[in-house]
Every structure is written in C-alpha cells, then in structure tokens.
Amino acid sequence: MDSERWEFLTELLETPSPSGYETRGQRVWVEYAKQYADDVRTDAYGNAIAAYNEDADGPTIAFAGHGDEIGFIVRRIDDDGFVHLGRIGGSDRTVSKGQHVTVHGSDGVVPGVVGQVAIHLRDPSKDEYDEISEQVVDVGAEDREEAAELVEVGDPITFSSTVEDLVGDKVAARGMDNRVGTYTAIEGLRRAAEADVDVTVYAVSTVQEELGKKGAMMVTDRLDVDAALVVDVTHAGDYPKSPTEKTGDVALGDGPVVGRGSANHPVVSQLARKAAADADIDVQLQAAGSFTGTDTDEFYVSSGGVPSLNVSVPNRYMHTPVEVVDTTDVEGVADLLAAFAATVEDRESFAVDV
C-alpha cells in the first residue's frame, strides 16, 4: 500500500463514525472521492455516492461498503457524575470494561474510562459480564453538574484505540468493520477509472449498517445499477480458539473472500472469480446459505432484484477494539473490484439463464 492510500485508510480508521453519527467519517471519504470521481453526492442521512463515467456504453455497477462503526451512547448521567452506557450496534459487553473511551460531545471530545472493580476486590467465582446498560464511564467528574458541563444524553462514545502496525502487513484498529469496505469501494472506482473502463461505476459509503442495514435501504432504490459488489469484513478462522466450524477456513493474507449462496448472485460470483483469475488475484470462498448479514442483503432485493455479490476482507476479533486485517487482502479486494469492472465491459445482462 503506497503512502497516499495508507494515509487515507488511516484517516478513515481514526475518524470516529459510530452509527447515527457518521458525518465526520463520511466527510473524510467524500473529500478523497472528489479527487477521482466525476461527481459525489450525499443524502439527508449522509449516505455518499461517488460516480464515474455515467455516460459509459457498458453496464452500470456499484461498489459499496458501510462507513459506520459500533460504539456506545450516553444513556444518562447519575448524581455522582458517572456516565451510564447504552449500545450503538453490536457492542460486546465482554471487552468494554477497563478500556479507554472517548465521549464525542458537542463542545469537543471528553476522555474517559469504563470502570472495572479491581481483581483484588472481586470474588472470581462470582465473576460475570455486566450488560452494557450496567457499565459506566468515569470522566473524572465530581458530580452530575460537572459531568453535564462536558457531556449530555445522546452523545456517542467510541473506544480510544487507534491504528497499530503489527508484524508484516497486518494492522490492528477499531472500526476495520467496515472502514476497509468503504476504502475498497472508492479505491475500486479509482483503479477502474485509471484503467479507463467503459463502465459506469458508483462507489457507495452507506450509514447505519450496524443498526440493521438502514443506510442501504435508503440508498439502493436511488441507484439504477445492473450489478452490485458489496464489501464488508468477514470472520477469519486462523487464530487460537477460533470456531472454525462457524468461520470456515478463511485466513488473513490469503486474498479476498467471494461469497456463494443466498444473496450472492451466481453469475456475478462466477464473473468475480474469473476476473480474479485473469488478474492473478488469489480468492477464498465463503458459503452463505441463508443471508450474508451485510448490506448485500438489501442491495439484491432492491429495484426488483439487483444481481449482487458480497466480497469480504478477512478480519480477526470483529467488534472489538483490536480488529486485525492484512493490508494485502484489502488491496486485493480493491484490485478485484477494478478487475471485475474491466471484465464486464461488454456484458449486456447478468441474469441467470432459466
């Protein structure tokens, strides 16, 4: 990954973007997209669409990812100045205690910590994981009045972890799910444009996927596309105690993951695999018998049915502050999207042959 791409990905990952509060992160994506797209537009909730070559003779395709991340929200402030938590999306109660967090107030950020009773003072035989609603943030305030000068009910909260380089090409950060998806969507557009493909490409960064794919519901009917490739993370199974009976054999560094089954259109899936083979991109396969759990599930049923495909970046430790991906997989997905665009330049239909 070259320095410009790395700086963009890092800025995406380090810009807080919890579901319902994505504006800052979407702004980073839009500013980058403006350099390479012919047009960039947003809607009332902040879904962003970048367009390239809208007058092309070839088909119209979308590359999409969701720009939001999980987090917390200020539910109430008690008399002693402690901030009580609510969930934003699928926050994990088992990893939140003892963590540094940042409350994003209207007047600026407020650092805090999620409290945990010291191990010396607990009875290990009675240890349980408190629900998120039972956990509190200590911002250091003496009482409700002092805390209320800093934060208010409804302020979003994120973990304070940032981007860390690990050995080789591996990187750890919160929010890999799914800033790597929005990164690859616009990078797929940029690389397709660089290759001068005769295809209309829309790169899409949706909001509120973690709340039930809400942004995709808003944006899909406004996109008149022939096919959609939706990028998200998927569970890697290559670390100790990973339940491989659930994850399959997906591994970091082994390339993009191409979905098969359910929302994954068989023609689009096969064309993506052909594009990968022609471009010498290694891919992994993943079965989705009922649903993908991603924005793909909204794209494929929109506008009377859009041939769609879930393409994934392998990810360890999803929905924790230390998600890990391999940047070669991230770049591989972006390359695959561009290769797909080149492969389908002359395609008239993606429909199955019945």
Q: Which residues are catalytic?
A: 209
Classify the phi-psi angles of 293: left when phi > 0, otherwise alpha if psi is within -120 to 50, otherwise beta.
left
Distance CA 174, CA 163 (A): 8
Judge whether 319 is annotated as a binding position.
yes
Judge whether 107 is annotated as a binding position.
no
Judge whether 238 is annotated as a binding position.
no
Judge whether 210 is annotated as a binding position.
yes
The side-by-side arrangement of strands in the sheet containing 227-235 is 39-42, 48-52, 200-206, 60-66, 227-235, 308-315, 257-260, 284-287
- What is the number of other CB atoms lying within 10 angstroms of the CB of residue 201? 31
Distance CA 98, CA 93 (A): 11
Residues ≥6 apart with Cβ < 8 Å to 217: 298
Instruction: Give the pairing type, strands 48-52 and 39-42.
Output: antiparallel
Do 214 and 74 contact (CB within 8 A), yes or no? no
Distance CA 342, CA 266 (A): 19
Distance CA 272, CA 276 (A): 6
- Quick check: bond before 315 cis, omega within 30? no
Judge whether 66 is annotated as a binding position.
yes
**Partners of residue 201 on adjacent β-strands:** 52, 61
DSSP state at residue 129: P
Distance CA 190, CA 184 (A): 9
**Partners of residue 260 on adjacent β-strands:** 287
> Which residues are known binding-site members?
66, 177, 210, 232, 319
> Which residues are known binding-site members for Zn(2+)?
66, 177, 210, 232, 319
